[in-house]
Structure 1
Amino acid sequence: MTRERYDELVAEGRELTLQEGQIQWRLGDMALEIEPITVPGGLPGEEHRVRKNMAMFAQDIDQPVPTVLAYRVTSGKWPSERRRPEVPWSIHRILGRLDESRFEVVQHPPMHPTRPGVCRWTDESAKRLVGWRVHTPRSVQEKVEAVHDLVGDEQVAAQVATDLLRRPAVAAAAAKDETACHLFNQAQRRGPRVAEPEPDTPQAEPDVPDVIAPAAPAEPAADWDEVPVQQVEDEPEELERPPSPVAPVVRKIQHTIEFLDLVGACHKFVAAIGRLVPSLGRRRLSEAEIETIHHNLARVRGVLTELRPMFPQVSDLLRGVALADA
Structure 2
Amino acid sequence: MQKPPVTLYLAAPRGFCAGVDRAIKIVEMALQKWGAPVYVRHEIVHNKFVVDGLKAKGAVFVEELDECPNDRPVIFSAHGVPKSVPAEAEERHMIYVDATCPLVSKVHIEAQRHAESGLQMIMIGHKGHPETIGTMGQLPQGEVLLVETVSDVATVQVRNPSRIAFVTQTTLSVDDTTDIVAALKARFPAIIGPHKEDICYATTNRQEAVKSMAPLVDAMLVVGAPNSSNSRRLVEVGTKAGCPYAQLVQRADDIDWRALRGAASIGVTAGASAPEVLIDEVIDAIKDRYVVTVSTVETAVENVEFKVPRVLRTAS
Compare relative contact order (CA 8 Å, sep 6+) and give the higher one, 1 or 2.
2
More helix by percentage: 1
| Structure whose CA Rg is larger | 1
Q: Say whether the fold is shared (TM-score over 0.5).
A: no
TM-score, length of structure 2 as denominator length: 0.25
